[in-house]
Amino acid sequence: MNPDYSRIRQPRSPQWLLALVLSLPLVASALPDDREQPIHIEADRAELDQRRGITTYEGDVRMRQGSMRIEADKVIIHTNEANDVERVEAHGSPAHLQQRRDPERGPMHARADAIDYDVAREQVLLLRNASLEQDGSTMSGNRINYNMLEDLVNITGERDSDSPRVEMVIPPRTRTPAED
């Protein structure tokens, strides 16, 4: 199925192409071949601030590179002086991030009102109405900090709400016939 690109308003300057090129090294920790895949971004609008190294995409933003997918109302990409992507912010009701980091495991599905992906540190921060699911395990809370390098997840609830607690669901381990 080919996406319908007719809805996207294309800027008339080479800045649109530059924004796409600046985003190429987006995900450093995905599957090895993800990094070699092109990034595809669809949005209703895009704005590139070259001085600050910030590209903002708004309106039903859909972004993909290999196994990584982001869907949000707004995506902001921060780059450094060398044009390397340092950080990706996604905002929505909710915003979604999906990525397969290991061929032996299922994809990680994240959802929150705000997602802050620190590419260099390989950390994903999920804020407000946050949930994370992988291989049948789910966790939810107000704030989830996922350090992908160390496979470490910290979850906190919302203190001033009716449900200040966090919730986790861990599926039973599947036994092999040799274990029985």
Question: Could you list the pLDDT tens digit for every one of the 180 residues in the chain?
Answer: 444 433 434 343 434 333 333 333 333 344 556 656 777 889 999 999 999 999 999 999 999 988 889 999 999 999 888 877 889 999 999 999 998 877 888 888 999 999 999 988 889 999 999 999 988 889 999 999 999 888 888 998 877 666 678 888 888 877 666 665
Which CATH architecture describes the domain 5-179? Sandwich (2.60)
b/e per residue 160-170 (b: at least 16 CB within 10 A): eeeeeebeeee
pTM for this model (two decimals): 0.75
Q: What pLDDT is recorded for position 103?
A: 80
Local structure of residue 80 (DSSP, 8 states): -
Nearest in space to 131 (alpha carbons), one of 157, 152, 104, 159 = 157
Q: What pLDDT is recorded for position 175?
A: 66
Please report, as a single letter, which amino acid is at residue 106: G
Q: What pLDDT is recorded for position 1?
A: 43
Residue 76: Cβ within 10 Å count: 18
Q: How far is CA 136 from the centre of its chain?
A: 19
b/e per residue 100-116 (b: at least 16 CB within 10 A): bbeeeeebbebbbbbbb
Q: What pLDDT is recorded for position 60?
A: 96
Residue 8: Cβ within 10 Å count: 18
Please report, as a single letter, which amino acid is at residue 38: P
Q: What pLDDT is recorded for position 70?
A: 96
Distances (CA, A) of 54 to 34, 47, 107, 118, 137: 23, 8, 28, 14, 35
